Amino acid sequence: MIVRPQQHWLRMIFVWHGSVLPKIFTRLLLNFLLSIAVIIMLPWYTSLGIKLTVAPFSILGVAIAIFLGFRNNACYARYVEARQLWGQLMIASRSLFREVKNTLPDDPHLGEFVRLQIAFAHCLRMTLRRQPQVNQLAHYLTEAQLRETMDSGSPANRILLIMGEWLATRRREGHLSDILFHSLNNRLNDMSVVLAGCERIANTPVPFAYTLILHRTVYLFCIMLPFALVVDLHYMTPFISVLISYTFISLDALAEELEEPFGVENNDLPLDAICNAIEIDLLQMNDEKVLPPRILPDKYYQLT
């Protein structure tokens, strides 16, 4: 995620980091070169008696813009829902440990429960990003817990089960009443809802056929555009063609990024920073002095 202070409108025009321009620059360059080639071939092109006008491209451009808008709205809705789910996880994590600590203030194993919560957040993050988990989770889980988690088909769900067993043990020992156990179990259910919601977004992309037809139409439009512009614009064709192509191709590229909000691209969610914030908050709530450094945006204003 790009997190940067508000820029002057003039400087915003030249912003590079955080835009999709680095990703689509090669495509725009090809469009520019194609436009130059069309200008060179103009005498041969007109001798064939084939003349494309701007009118059909105007109608097609409006249709493409409408459908790109629908697709971007759908992808942005996935992004917003994913951010809300991680916000709910932060709330549930704080609330769960606050209730556990207030209910079991003298329990010598509170640190173990804190690390189970931290492990769940990191495990969910790495599962969604399809990253290896063993080395990271080894900092928070015992060998038995780590082995049990890695042997599971859903490691994050297994950590929830281990947390539930931790609470059930206190209940059997008489440290938790049935009412308090039920209240704490509801917090675990909230975390389970977050897990299921994130898995649903990650495993259910925007329908491929819908994405494909828009992708094809946008690029065919950008390829054919110089042939329609060259008759009227001549040497201005490359600049106008690249400007129009930038608008459509950048919207298509941005939708691709927003469609998978759990990735590591510039416009994806900063899951590392969110997990880092959860870890720091929980350790501070447990009155621990050794805290990890807070993750801040890098020199390119990117928060991972």
pLDDT tens per residue across all 304 residues of the chain: 777 777 777 777 778 777 888 889 999 999 999 999 989 888 877 777 767 778 888 888 888 989 888 899 999 999 999 999 999 999 999 999 999 999 998 888 999 999 999 999 999 999 999 999 999 999 999 999 999 999 999 999 999 999 999 999 999 998 888 899 999 999 999 999 999 999 999 999 888 888 889 889 999 999 999 988 888 888 899 999 999 999 999 999 989 888 999 988 888 899 999 999 999 999 999 999 899 999 888 877 778 8
What single-letter DSSP state applies at residue 254? H
Q: Give the pLDDT confidence score for residue 303 in this predicted structure.
A: 81
Instruction: Give the phi and the psi of residue 152 in degrees, each rounded to 5.
Output: -85, 150
Q: Which residue has the tokens 């939708």?
A: 255
Q: Between 237-259 and 54-103, two packed helices, what is the crossing angle to 10 degrees? A: 30
Say what the pTM is.
0.89
Q: Give the pLDDT confidence score for residue 18 in this predicted structure.
A: 77
- Beta-bridge partner residues of 2: 302
For residue 282, give every residue at least 6 positions away whose Cβ sits within 8 Å of its Cβ, in sequence order, or none: 93, 94, 97, 114, 117, 118
- Beta-bridge partner residues of 66: none
CA distances from 153 to 149, 156, 158 (A): 8, 9, 8
Which has the closest alpha carbon to 291: 282, 303, 299? 282
Collapsing DSSP states into helix, strand and coil, what is residue 73? helix
> What span, in angstroms and rounded, lies between the C-alpha atoms of 123 and 271?
11
Q: Give the pLDDT confidence score for residue 58 in this predicted structure.
A: 85
